[in-house]
């Protein structure tokens, strides 16, 4: 049990360091999701994270309803 807790804390700290060094705007949760999805794919981490951020920015406005657009 203690080992699992230490591993979880270590992964959280490593992801926080990666987020800060790469100046990513994504949350730690989003970064962990991307890493879990691309774990066994031969994709560089920076490219995987940047593609997710660009998709998120472009799809954010398309999914949002416009209140004043009649």
- C-alpha dihedral over 13, 19, 48, 14, to 10 degrees? -20
Tens of pLDDT along 1-55?
889 999 999 999 998 998 899 888 888 888 888 888 877 888 787 787 777 655 5
So what's the pLDDT on residue 56? 55
| Residue 46, both tokens | 């920076």
pTM: 0.60
Tens of pLDDT along 46-55?
787 777 655 5
d(C-alpha 31, C-alpha 10), whole Å: 15
So what's the pLDDT on residue 67? 62
Q: What are phi and psi of 55, to 5 degrees?
A: -65, -40
Query: By CB neighbour count within 10 A (0-12 exposed, 13-18 middle, 19+ buried), where does 31 fall?
Result: buried
């Amino acid at each position: 049990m203690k080992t699992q807790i230490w591993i979880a804390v270590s992964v959280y700290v490593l992801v926080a360091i990666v987020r800060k060094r790469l100046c990513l705007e994504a949350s730690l949760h989003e970064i962990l999701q991307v890493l879990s999805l691309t774990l066994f794919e031969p994709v560089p981490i920076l490219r995987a994270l940047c593609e997710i951020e660009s998709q998120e920015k472009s799809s954010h406005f398309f999914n949002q309803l416009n209140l004043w657009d009649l």
